[in-house]
Amino acid sequence: MKEILNSIKKIEHGFKHIIEAGDVIFADKTKYHTELAEELLMDDSYQVRMLATYLLGLLSPEHPAALQLLETKVATDENWRVQEMLAKAFDYYCKTIGYEKGLPDIKNWLTAKHPNVRRAVIEGLRIWTNRPYFKDHPDVAIQLISTHKSDLSEYLRKSVGNALRDISRKYADKVAEETATWDLADKKIAFTYKLVKGR
């Protein structure tokens, strides 16, 4: 384990080495992975905390405690790379249990107090309309994402704008119909609108 941790700490960019290390650890069934991941979340190295987040994502479909740690503990991490891994972890959870079955969790996370929890959904499911269920229900995706067009978090609004721009490549009319209702006098909404339009 120490060798794996030292190895990932040497690489500052990317996710591939984190995922490979996580898969090796997860394959070792002699370890209690939830406890291990919780311990790794306390590490000073963001790479190790990314690894912990990845492990929790793998565990989350069968272990509610892992999903809860993602929502409560990982979301408060100040490192943006850890937040990117949180988004990937939440998407893995939804993909594994099925996006339609995951709708209650998606909606629950989208109403969370912490903006990083809300962002994990918006960012993690991109491109939303390439995902099962949302591919057949683009209106649902657009509605869920647009709810946060005026969020106080600029970090989140960037994800909202980019996610809707993604969808507009296939469903331009539907996205345009939604944004036509937006109050652009609101500076936060105008910020998101510009991202949707690619400005």
Residue 21 lies in a domain: yes
Task: Read off the CATH number of the domain in which 7 is found.
Answer: 1.10.1240.70
Predicted local confidence at residue 30, as pLDDT = 67
pLDDT band for position 193 (50/70/90)?
very high
Q: Which of 143, 161, 142, 165 is nearest to 151 (CA)?
A: 161
Distance, CA of 148 to CA of 154 (rounded, Å): 10
Task: Read off the CATH number of the domain in which 163 is found.
Answer: 1.25.40.290
Residue 3 clears pLDDT 70, i.e. is over it:
yes
**Range of the structural domain that residue 91 is part of:** 1-97
109 to each of 10, 23, 71, 78, 181, how far by Cα in Å?
A: 33, 26, 8, 18, 25
Phi, psi (rounded to 5 degrees) for 6: -65, -35
**Cβ burial, residue 190 (10 Å; 0-12/13-18/19+):** middle
pTM: 0.93
Q: Which of 112, 78, 167, 193 is nearest to 90 (CA)?
A: 112
